[in-house]
Structure 1
Amino acid sequence: MSIFKRPRFSQGFAGQLYFVFLSLLGCSTFLLVHQGEIFHYTPSQWVWVYAMLGAALILNYFTFQLPPEGNLQSMDSSVYLACIFIYGAPFALSVILFVSLAMALYDRKIPFWKHFVNFSVYTVMIVGSSFIFKMAGGQAGPIHNDQFGAYVAALVVYFVINVFLVGFYYYLLYKGSLYDILKTFMKDTLLVYLSTLILSLVLSILIVHNGVFGLTLFIGLSVMLSYSFKQLFTMYKQVQEKAIKDQRTGLYNHSYFENLLEDEIKKAKTNETPLSLAMIDIDDFKKYNDQFGHLKGDMLLGFLGNYLKVESETAEVVASRFGGEEFTILMPGYDDHKARSFINRLRKKLNDTYFDGVEIFPSGCLSFSAGVASYRIDIHDKSQLVELADQALYYAKKQGKNNVHVYGSGAEKESEIDFAEDVRDIEQQLKLFLYKDVDTFKHSKRVFRYAMDISEVLGLDSVERRNFVLGALIHDIGKLEIPWGILNKRDKLTAGEWETVKRHVSWGKRIAETNEKFKELVPYIELHHERYDGGGYPHGFKGSQIPKLCRMLTIIDSFDAMTTERPYQQTKTFEEGIEELLRCSGTQFDPELVELFIRYLRLKAEAQQQPAAGLETS
C-alpha cells in the first residue's frame, strides 16, 4: 500500500520532514544493499528483470479497492516478494527501481519527489523482508517446503513495515492515536497481504518450473483477481450508496449524518479541533409546493441538493438531507466565524441562482435560512449540537428568513425572540378565558403592560425582566379551574366560594409546572396574593420572605383590580386607587414599592395627560 494511494489531504510541516527522512533512509538502504549489482547482470538476468518489471507495471495498473474503506491496493508486492524468494534482495531492488522510473515517466501529474518517496518506502520494505527471510533460514532459489516459516516471516515483516511507515505519516498529520491508526490500516489491508503471500509463492513456483510461461499465467490470474475485487467493490459501493444516500437529493441521508456527526464530535473532543454544524431550511417551500405541486417541489429539492453537494465537496465539508426541506452541513475544522462566512456565501450565491418558479417567493429568488452551532466542551451528545443548530435556525427565521444566525452570537436578539414566543404561548392559554371570563383575560393583559413599564423603572436585567413580565401575564392562569358560576357571580361571594377562588394560586402553580419553560414563573403565580404584613395566602409569608418582584406584582395586580370593573366589588377611580395603595402601604403592600409605583403612575399620567394607559374608570 502506497502513501499516495489514499484520499488527498493537505500535508503539514511534520509530514514534509517525514518525507525527507524516508527518502534519505530509502536511498541509503538501496545503495548499501544493492551495491551496483545491476551493472553485472547477464543477458538472461536482464530478461527476468524486464519480465518482472512488466509484471509489476501491469499489476500496478490494475489497482482495485476493497470494502469497507476503499483503500487502493494492487498485487505488485507479490512480484517483489517472489524476486526476494528466487533471486534475492538486490534483484528485487533493481525491479522496484525500474518500476519507479517507469511510473514517474508515465504519470507526470504526480510530482517526481512523490514517486521517489514511494520508491523509498518499497525499498525499506524489501530490504527488511529479505533480512528476516535470511534470519529465519530462508535461501534464495527454488521454493522448498521446509522454508515455509521463512516465507511467512518475510511477508509479515513486509506487511508490518508498510503499515507502520504509512500509518505513522497519518499520525503526524492528524495527531490521533497511533495505535488506532495502525489498527485501522492492518484491518483494511490484511486480506490483501494474505492474498499477496499466496500469490508470491505461486509466482515463485511457476517461474522456477515454467519460466516465462508461468509468469504469463500468473499475470493473467492476478489481473482476473484484481478485476474481480474491483467488481466486488463496485457492487459494494452501489449497495452502500443506496443505504447512506438520499435518493431524491443525492446527499447523505439522516442516518449517515447522525453516525458521521457522532464520529466527528469524538474527534473534535479528542484532538481539541473546531467543529461546526449548520441546519438549513428552504424558505417558503410549502408555498412553492402548493403553487406548482409536489413533483416540481421534489425537483427543487434535487436542485438544492446538487447545489449543496457541489459546494460542500469544494469546501471539504459534508452536506446531508435532514428531512423534508431541511439540510445539514457538517464542517470539521470550522469555527463558528468561518462556518458562518461559508454558509453566508452559499446563501448569497443561491440567491443569484435561478430556478423555475422562484418569482412566487417573497424575495423573488431562491433562499434559505440557516442556523450554525459550534462544538463546545460541555456538549456530550450529538443531539445537543443538533438542538443548538436547530435553535439557531429558529432565530434566523424569526429575524425575517434568508439569513444565517450563529447560536449565541446575538444573545440579546435571541432573548427578545424567545420572550416574544413565550408571550405568544401564554396568550394562547389565556385565550381560554375568552369563553369563560373575558374580564380575567383583559386584566392579565393590563397587568402585563404595567409589568413591562415597571421592569424598565426597576432596571431589571433580561432574565429578571422575562420572568417578571411573563409572571405578570400568567399570574391568574389558575382561575381556569374555578367554576364558571363562581368566576362570573355578580353577588358577593360566600365564604366557601371565596375559599375556592383562593385556590387558584395553587392550581396555577400546577399548570405552570407542567411546562419546563414556565417553572421559573411559579413564584409570581403562587405568591401574588401574599401580604407584606403576613396576612395573605396561601403561605402567610411576610416582608422579605416574599420575593421583591412578587411584592411588586401584588401592587400592580391589586391596583388594576381596584380600578377596573369587577363583578363582586365597587370600582375605584384612578385617584381612589392611589389612595387605597397609600392606605394599605406597610400592611398589604411594600411601602417602598408602593411609592415607586405611584411615582410611575403620576409621571405616566402627566405624560399622557390622562389616566394611566389601559385604566378603565367608572
Structure 2
Amino acid sequence: MGISLVLAIVILNYYIFQLPPEGNYLSMDSSVYLASIFVFGLHYTLTLLLYSSIVYALLARKIALWKHVSNFAIYNMMIIGASYIYQLSGGVPGPMDFHQIHAYVLSLSAYFLLNVFIIGLYYLITIKGNLMNVYKGIIKETISGYVSTLLLSLILTIMITTYQIYGLILLLLVTILLSIAFKQLFALYKEVSEKAIRDQRTGLYNHGYFETVMEQELTKSKELQQPLSLTIMDIDDFKKYNDAYGHLKGDRLLEFFGALIKEECETNGLFAARYGGEEFTILHPNSSEAEAFSFVNRLRKKLNDTFFEGVEVFPHGCISFSAGIIGLKTGIYDKSQFVDMADQALYFAKAQGKNLVHIYDDQSVVQKTFDIEREISEIEHQLKIFLSKDVYTYQHSKRVFEYAVEMSEKIGLNDYERKMLTLGALFHDIGKLEIPRDILNKKGKLTSEEWEIVKKHVLWGKEIASTNQRLKHLIPLIELHHERYDGMGYPHGLHSNEIPKLARILTVIDSFDAMTTERPYQKTKSFDEAFSEIRMHSGTQFDPEIVEPFIEMIMDKFYWKRNILNSELKTAQEI
C-alpha cells in the first residue's frame, strides 16, 4: 500500500486541476496525505512525504532543488499541524468513523490555515503588499479547493479501508479524468473570456476591461508606492480619412494602428486598449511620466515613418496621433480623475497642432480654458437656483468663494489651482439641491437617518457636475470637501495626502464659514472661537500645513471687518 500511495502522490502532482474563473491550480496530493493521517497516522504519512518528494525531485529535475526542499518543508509543517489537531480533537487513526467527523474537519482546517499562513508570509516578503489584502486574496482563491480536498480525503479514507489498493486506483483514475475534463473546460472558458475582453476590430483589450485593469493597477501602485502612468492617444484627422476612402478602409487603418500598438506594448510589458472610436489607451505600470513619454514619442515617430495606403490625405502626409500622458500623483483618488487629466493633456496636444505627445501640466492645461472671470460669472448664475430653495447655501457658497480667492493669493497657488479652488468653492455644495426641503430647513438637531441623507450631497453634487463637461474638473472639490485628514471623513475615508490639496484647503474654508455664520441647528462661533476649534483639530480633521496660513489670511483680510460688524451690532442692541 505504501508504494501505491507514493506513486499516487507523484502522479497527482502531474495532473493538476485548473479551475475557472481565476485559473487557480488545485493539486489532489493533499487529499492523499490527509487520508493517510486519518487511516495510518503521522509517522506513516511523513514517510510517504519523504519518499514521494524524493521520487518527484528525481523526475522533475528542471525545477530548482531549493523549490523541492521548500515544498517538502511546507508540506511537513502542514501534515504535522493537521495530525496534532486531529489527535487533540479526539481523532483515532483507522477506518472511517462518522462519529469523529469534527476531527476530520478541524484537521483539514488546520492544514488549510497553515498553508495560507506560510504562503501569505512568502507573498508578504517578496511582494511587500498589504498583509490583510494578501490573506483575503489567498483565502478567496483557495477555499473551494480545500473544501474539495476535504471531501476527496474522506472518500479516499473510505476507499482505502474498504477496497485498499483497488479503491486507491479507482479514485486516482477518477481524479485524472476530472483533471483532463477541467483542463478542457478551462481552455474553453479562457477562449470565451478572451473574446469578452477584446476589441474585435483591433485585437486590443476593450474599454470595459481597461477600466477594470486600471482600477487594479491604481490600487496596486498606491499600496506599493510604485509609479504608474497613463496615456490616451487619438489618431489625428481620422474623419478625413474615413470621408475620403470610406469606412471599410477606415476600419483597416484602425486594425493596422491597433496591431502596431499591441506589438510594441506587449514587447515592453505594457497594457494597451481601444478606448473608443479612434482613441486608444496605454497603461504603463511601474513607469514614470518621463519613461511613458519616451515610449509613446518613439511609437509616434515609428508610426510617422510607416507607410499606409492613402496617407496623403492627412495634413502631415503620414499617419499620426496626438497623446496625453499623466503619472499617478498625490491627490489622484480615483480612475475617472486619472483619465480626465490624461484627456486634458491630449486636448492640449491637439490644440498645439497635433502629432504631439504632451505630459499633463496645470499651467499648460489652463491655457485651453475660458477666461476665469467669465466662468465665475456663468457658474454664479447657475448657482442662483439655490435662491428658490436654500438661500443659506447660496450665501455660504459666496462667502467660501471670497475666502478661497484670498487664500489662493496667500499660499501662492498657480493659475490653474486658483481657478479650480475658486470655482470649486462656488459650486461645492451644489448637491444640496437634492436634499429634501424639510431637512435643509430643519431647526432642531438632525436624526441619524437625516444626517445620512445630508452626507449624500457630495455624491449628488458629483453626479450633477458629471453631466456638464465644463464642471467635470471640479468633481474632486465637490466630492471630497468633507474628507478628513485622519481618514474619518466621507464619502471615501481618504486620509492625509490621499485627499487632493485643493480639497484639503476647501475643507478648512468650508468648516470655518459654517462655524462663524448663523445656522438653525448650531450656535454661531466668533472668529476667535473658530480659530481655536480649527487649531484643536489640526492634524485630525484639517491639514496642519493649511491651518495657520488660513488663520493668518483671515486675520489680515477679514478679522477687522467682523470686529466692525460686531461693534455695530452691539451698539444697535444698546440703543
TM-score bin (small chain)? 0.5 to 0.7
State the 1:197 CA deviation.
0.7
- Alignment correspondent of 1:537: none
Quote how far apart the aligned CAs of 1:353 are. 4.7
- For residues 17 and 283 of structure 2, what CA distance do their matches in structure 1 show? 30
Q: 1:112–1:350: structure 2 CA closer, same or farther, 3 Å change rule?
A: farther
Deviates more, 1:310-319 or 1:369-378: 310-319
Rounded Cα–Cα distance in structure 2 between residues aligned with 1:403 and 1:462: 25
The correspondence for 2:42, drawn from 89, 93, 101, is 89
Note the C-alpha offset of 1:361: 4.4
The answer to whether the 8 A contact 2:344-2:365 is kept is no
- The answer to whether 1:334 aligns with 2:287 is yes
Q: 1:104 to 1:366 in 2, by over 3 A?
A: farther
Which residue, 380, 383, 388 being the options, matches 2:333? 380
Q: Deviations over 1:394-423 (max 9, x none)?
A: 2223334333211118x4x6566x27x989
- Report the 3-state secondary structure (helix = DSSP H, G, I; strand = E; otherwise coil) of the residue aligned with 1:65: strand
Return the letter of the residue paired with 1:407: Y
* SS class of match (1:222): helix
User: Within 5 A, what are the aligned runs for 1:86-165?
Assistant: 86-165=39-118
Which residue pairs with 2:229 in the alignment?
276
Matched position secondary structure for 1:141: coil
Residue 52 of structure 1: how far off its partner (Å)? 1.9
* Matched AA of 2:162: H
**Contact between 2:349 and 2:357, CA under 8 Å: does it hold in 1?**
yes
| Structure 1 counterpart of 2:201 | 248
User: Contact 2:34–2:79 (CA<8 Å) still a contact in 1?
Assistant: yes
Q: Deviations over 1:11-68 (max 9, x none)?
A: xxxxxxxxxxxxxxxxxxxxxxxxxxxxxxxxxxxxx343223222322222232233
Residues 354-409 of structure 1 show CA distances to partners (whole Å, capped at 9, x for unaligned) of 55555654555543322101122222332211111011112223334333211118
Bigger radius of gyration: 1
Look up the SS of the partner of 1:165 in the other structure.
helix
Residue 85 of structure 2 contacts residue 110 of structure 2 at CA under 8 Å; is this kept in 1?
yes
AA aligned to 2:359 is V
> What secondary structure is seen at the aligned counterpart in 1 of 2:164?
helix
* 1:312 paired to 2:265: yes
1:403 match: 356
Ranges in structure 1 where 5+ consecutive residues have no aligned partner:
1-47, 427-460, 468-513, 518-618
Q: Is the 8 A contact 2:228 2:286 kept in 1?
A: yes
Instruction: Provide the TM-score with structure 2 as the length reference.
Output: 0.60
Structure 2, unpaired ranges of 5+: 376-412, 420-467, 472-575
The match for 2:179 among 226, 230, 252 is: 226
1:144-543 matches, cutoff 5 A:
144-353=97-306, 355-358=308-311, 361-363=314-316, 365-408=318-361, 411=363, 418=368
Is the 1:86–1:141 contact (alpha carbons within 8 Å) kept by the matching residues of 2?
yes
Say if 1:99 and 1:393 are closer, same or farther in 2 by CA, change over 3 A: farther
**1:61 is matched with which residue: 11, 14, 19?**
14
Q: How does 1:72-83 map to 2 (within 5 A)?
A: 72-83=25-36
> Which residue identity is paired with 1:375?
L
Using the size of structure 1 for normalisation, the TM-score is 0.56
Instruction: Percent identity, please.
Output: 51
1:195 to partner: Cα distance:
1.0
Against the structure 1 CA distance between its residues 79 and 515, is the aligned structure 2 distance closer, same or farther, given a 3 Å change threshold?
closer
Deviation at 1:351, TM superposition (A): 4.2
Q: Would the alpha carbon gap of residues 53 and 280 (structure 1) be closer, same or farther in structure 2, given more than 3 Å must change?
A: farther
- SS class of match (1:80): helix
Q: Which residue of 1 aligns with 2:424?
A: none
* Pair 223,407 (structure 1): closer, same or farther in 2 beyond 3 Å: same
Give the count of matched residue pairs.
384
Does the CA-based 8 Å contact 1:369-1:402 persist in structure 2?
yes
User: Would the alpha carbon gap of residues 131 and 351 (structure 1) be closer, same or farther in structure 2, given more than 3 Å must change?
Assistant: farther
Deviation string 1:286-306 (CA, Å, 9 cap, x unpaired) is: 333334432233233233333
| Structure 1 pair 342–105 and aligned structure 2 pair: CA distance change class (3 A) | farther
Query: Tell me, what secondary structure is at the counterpart of 1:132?
Result: helix
State the distance in 2 between where 1:59 and 1:237 align.
23
